[in-house]
């Protein structure tokens, strides 16, 4: 069977354009791929199989119905819906230059707007919350020592979960400098310094698992019982397990909903509260712009309260109001 124009351009988009011209990371390519897996599945429910799916069959109405289906049937949030739409926008932004026959329809698809996301308060742990969490792994077991090294590294470096999952022993420089090389979104690499306390946890872990041997340079730094690198779900399971333990044993408040990103948020907030410049926090977190990092300053209610208290000037009258000094309300009303 002859391949359709949709399959040809989708293959070129994922394997050539994104990787070689856009320099997209593997995670981005996989996210875009997943979007089109869902889209092809949706079109199959509309009686259009992948073997018959052409560019001519895809228009603005089809894409909008697909996005509505994601939210109605798969219960996707506005954020997830927007991420799927971003992948579709990127594809048709590419196709319009390769196959302009349906340019008007492509531009109508590109005009589909993102949905406004609900603003939710930023979740982060206090310093005591982080201490309670890191106190939970049993350091008398191999898995407990791994989990402690993993969670403490995620917090200390402010790394995203995928960034930590992708680490290998050669990402570390455990000498006088004590730094870690982290590859983030868009394959951008940043160097983050590590504290002495963090290195004290990592070095024994690396030696114990023979990750200091040259043959293991490309081995996952954190791995499961089969020797494979951990998954996002696996790391999240580890975090939730110890968070549940901390709630029961420490008496310290931890939010009910907790995810790996909360460690990154917590590190950023603690750096900000310690007076670290936003520019340095931006570089540690790997943000492209300091404007992205400013969200932590806006979310820091403690800093806002201190600023208000520092600038506070009393403007209320010192004399007690007459209605407070008169015990007999009826008498006061009669003589008012």
Catalytic residue among 115, 173, 181, 185: 185
Residue of 124, 155, 205, 296 marked catalytic: 296
d(CA 240, CA 300): 24
Catalytic residue among 84, 145, 247, 287: 287
| 296 is an active site residue | yes
Residue (of 206, 187, 122, 194) closest to 155 by Cα position: 194
Owner of token pair 């008498």: 331
Cα–Cα distances in angstroms (integers) from residue 333 to residues 39, 323, 324, 330, in the given order: 74, 10, 13, 5
| Whether 32 is catalytic | no
Contact 286, 188 (CB under 8 A): yes
Residue 261 annotated among the catalytic residues of the structure? yes
2 is catalytic: no
Q: Residues 1, 51: contact at Cβ < 8 Å?
A: yes
The DSSP letter of residue 229 is B
Is 145 in the active site?
no
Encoding tokens for residue 135? Answer: 């106190």
Residue partners of 63: CB distance under 8 A and separation at least 6: 85, 88, 109, 112
* Catalytic residue from among 160, 267, 270, 282: 160
Annotation says 146 is catalytic: no
Instruction: Give the whole-angstrom CA distance, residue 142 versus residue 222.
Output: 12
The active-site residue out of 81, 84, 247, 264 is 264
Helix H segments across 77-168? 78-98, 103-110, 127-134, 142-157, 161-165
Distances, alpha carbon 161 to alpha carbons 106, 158, 169, 210, 303, in Å = 35, 9, 17, 23, 28
Active-site residue numbers?
A: 160, 185, 261, 264, 287, 296
């Amino acid at each position: 069977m002859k391949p359709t124009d949709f399959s040809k351009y989708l293959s070129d988009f994922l394997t050539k354009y994104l990787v070689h011209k856009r320099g997209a990371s593997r995670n981005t390519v996989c996210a875009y791929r997943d979007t089109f897996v869902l889209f092809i599945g949706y079109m199959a429910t509309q009686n259009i199989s992948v073997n018959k799916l052409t560019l001519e069959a895809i228009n603005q109405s089809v894409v909008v119905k697909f996005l509505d289906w994601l939210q109605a049937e798969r219960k996707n949030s506005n954020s997830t819906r927007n991420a799927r739409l971003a992948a579709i926008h990127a594809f048709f932004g590419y196709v319009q230059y390769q196959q302009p026959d349906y340019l008007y329809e492509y531009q109508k698809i590109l005009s589909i707007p993102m949905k406004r996301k609900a603003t939710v308060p930023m979740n982060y742990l206090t310093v005591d919350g982080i201490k309670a969490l890191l106190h939970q792994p049993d350091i008398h077991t191999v898995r407990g020592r791994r989990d402690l090294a993993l969670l403490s590294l995620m917090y200390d470096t402010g790394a995203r979960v995928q960034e930590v999952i992708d680490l290998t022993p050669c990402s570390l420089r455990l000498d006088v400098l004590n730094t870690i090389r982290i590859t983030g979104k868009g394959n951008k690499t940043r160097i983050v310094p590590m504290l002495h306390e963090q290195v004290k946890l990592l070095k024994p872990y690396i030696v114990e698992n023979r990750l200091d041997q040259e043959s293991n340079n490309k081995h996952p730094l954190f791995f499961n019982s089969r020797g494979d690198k951990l998954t996002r779900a696996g790391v999240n399971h580890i975090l939730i397990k110890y968070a549940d333990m901390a709630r029961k044993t420490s008496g310290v408040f931890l939010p009910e909903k907790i995810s790996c990103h909360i460690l990154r948020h917590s590190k950023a907030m603690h750096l900000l509260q310690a007076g670290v410049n936003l520019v340095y926090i931006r570089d540690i977190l790997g943000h492209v712009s300091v404007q992205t990092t400013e969200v932590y300053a806006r979310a820091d209610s403690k800093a806002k309260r201190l600023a208000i208290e520092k600038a506070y000037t009393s403007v209320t009258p010192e004399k007690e109001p007459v209605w407070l000094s008169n015990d007999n309300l009826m008498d006061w009303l009669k003589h008012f």
